[in-house]
Structure 1
Amino acid sequence: MGDERVKNEAMEIMGLVQLLPRLVVFDLDYTLWPFYCECRSKREMPKLYPQAKGILCALKDKGVGVAIASRSPTPDIANTFLEKLGIKSMFVAQEIFSSWTHKTDHFQRINRRTQIPYNEMLFFDDEDRNIDAVSKMGVTSILVGNGVNLGALRQGLSKFSQIVRLQKETNKDGKEFQKNQVHQKRRRNKSSTIFETVKDEDQTDHVSQFSPKLKLVLAKHITKQYLQTEGSQHSLWRSL
């Protein structure tokens, strides 16, 4: 399948999801290309996985940024290969350095450089330990078994869309809960104020004119202590 055809299919896949990441981050070795940089020579001509370039081009045309997070110990070779492949300029961030942090350092640098939140990123990598570490940062992360391809892209975009939608629903529910709590507190305060106003003997004549709903609210605010003190024959209680 040629690059243009892959690109078109990738565009179709992106058109099927409602929410797209702002940034897609790729590992290099065994994710974009099928080898380890440190095992190759700068003089060689590298090759990407068959569908990698078409996917990169589709993301760029769709306005989605792309970046690199690689723990390669030979960044000079990696950069040379990116230039030879003609894709180096496509990446808004290129963090290529050896690290024991399983790429959390890489993503912190990418975040500082791009100012894009972790939960708006999608990440592809071939190592479980990197996927686990970066996922804990809030990045939607996908493990690839044979390089990045259309299947991995579809899986990643679907997972990203589901996670973001769930986050929005959770935030909405949380805000709605807080709103209800405030509303209930205001109702309680208002009811208490009404009760304090009418509990005086001189105001009980007005209580009989209240609606059944308001009477119920007032009844709930007559405490056991008040009833025990005043007795069940209190005129306010009788009027309810």
Structure 2
Amino acid sequence: MAEKMLKLIHINGRPAGTFLLHKTWGIGTKISHFNEIQKLTGVDYKDMVFFDDEARNRDVEQRLGVTFVLVQEETGVNWDVFNRGLELWRKKNNLEK
């Protein structure tokens, strides 16, 4: 599903997936996906934001420190949800406006 979405969404005429240096999905836990992302990118877990529609994946926040944003399936990640995620990340990292 994610790969298909990244082909369908276009930014400045290019598929969104072409802007990503690293992609990880498929079989395995989200913990293992974030471990892989962290190793590939060097980005600290506290600097990551994860938008997902499955509450059970909140363990990335509890175990790794990734900011988790629960997304309603009906709305998906819209502008309001995206901004809410950034605000949660700011608060968590003491970077409030």
Calculate the TM-score normalised by the size of structure 2.
0.79
Query: Out of 66, 70, 78, which is 1:143 matched to?
Result: 70
Q: Secondary structure at the match of 2:56?
A: helix
> Alignment length, in residue pairs?
87
1:120 aligns with 2:44: no
Please list every run of 5 or more consecutive structure 1 residues that lacks an aligned counterpart in the other structure: 1-36, 38-77, 167-240
Q: Secondary structure at the match of 1:165?
A: coil
The amino acid across from 1:153 in the alignment is F
Where is the helix percentage greater, Structure 1 or Structure 2? 1
| Distance in 2, Cα, partners of 1:110 & 1:121 | 10
**Runs of 4+ deviating beyond 2 Å:** 78-85
Please list every run of 5 or more consecutive structure 2 residues that lacks an aligned counterpart in the other structure: 10-14
Q: Using a 3 Å threshold, how does the CA distance of structure 1 residues 151 and 115 change in structure 2: closer, same or farther?
A: same
| Distance in 2, Cα, partners of 1:144 & 1:83 | 21
Describe the superposition over 1:180-213 as per-residue Cα deviations: whole angstroms up to 9, x where unpaired. Answer: xxxxxxxxxxxxxxxxxxxxxxxxxxxxxxxxxx
| Distance in 1, Cα, partners of 2:4 & 2:68 | 27
- Residue 134 of structure 1 deviates from its aligned partner by 0.8
Residues 170-181 of structure 1 aligned to structure 2 (within 5 Å):
none
Describe the superposition over 1:104-146 as per-residue Cα deviations: whole angstroms up to 9, x where unpaired. Answer: 000000000000000011110000011x211121011100102
| Distance in 2, Cα, partners of 1:126 & 1:105 | 18
| Distance in 1, Cα, partners of 2:18 & 2:44 | 22
Match in the other structure for 1:196 = none
Match in the other structure for 1:155 = 84
Describe the superposition over 1:26-57 as per-residue Cα deviations: whole angstroms up to 9, x where unpaired. Answer: xxxxxxxxxxx3xxxxxxxxxxxxxxxxxxxx
Which is greater in Rg? 1
Q: Secondary structure at the match of 2:24?
A: strand
> RMSD in angstroms over aligned alpha carbons?
1.8
